[in-house]
Amino acid sequence: MASIDELTFDHLIGQEIGTAVLLKELARGGMAVIFTGYQKTLKRPIAVKILPKSLLAHSSAELFHQEAESAAIISHPNIIPIYEFGETEDFLFFTMQLVRGLPLSRIIERMKRHILPSRRLFRTAEAIRIFISVLDAMDYAHRQGIIHRDIKPANILIETLTNRPLITDFGIAKVLRGPYVNAPKITGTPIYMAPEQITGDPVDGRADIYSLGVTLFELLVTNLPLPSYDTAMDLLKMKIVLKDEMFQNKPSAMNPLIVPEMDAIVSRAIAYDPENRYASCREFMKSLQNYQERFVEKHDEHHAERTCLI
């Protein structure tokens, strides 16, 4: 079976898909390709995500349907809205808001390469601002019965004009009220994946809290303190063996603008046992807000100007 990278899609440019005309290819994921499009009915630019049927296994089709259906029932200013869902002879598709910006993963990579060492770390206030918005959005999704299951910097877009974070790609979201609640399936991205996703144990919103904790950790230090490994499978095995010793340093030891109170926040979010994590994104968010009120102004005041991320 061919991979998404081996397929060509030039023939789709100019074609009508649902109410949109495809304009150009924008990005590719593991099983899908995203185009910029123009929605004729409302005369606006949009993004169109398509999944070729030639790549489909039953589970892939199921996940793609879940992405559109679960994302379409939620409405939050920090979650990218879905406009339309459909199917052609050759592929499944849905359309969504076109975000002018960059994924957080690319911003982190840019920061790592910055010529000035002082600019290779996020300003703490900016990292917390991003995360409070993301946690509010995920708390909303969880209260709607939706688990993302693949939270990572690549799935958090930062809008250029506003610096607003937007969560995308509910492609492996788990709808708790659906018929597949206990499906034992490993899905996610290894570094950010909660241990219970690896072992096939039941998953709830605390799996997203783990992924959010790892993402926050990365925002604060840009280089996660992981043991060396060769393959993704090695990383998955190490998570199960090392448990709470997986991350080999604390945020405050890697970022001089962070005080040890942040170590406790991150450690609780990424606890191996879900019972030891925050019970909800709202609880996680309140811990960050408390940290912000107590420490951020004192330790971040020499970077008081607003940071433009893009």
In sequence order, the 6+-apart residues with CB closer than 8 A to the CB of 275 are: none
Site of tokens 């991205």: 189
Contact, 294 vs 252, CB < 8 A? no
**Of these residues, 5, 90, 139, 150, which one is catalytic?**
150
Quick check: is 10 catalytic?
A: no
Catalytic residue set: 150
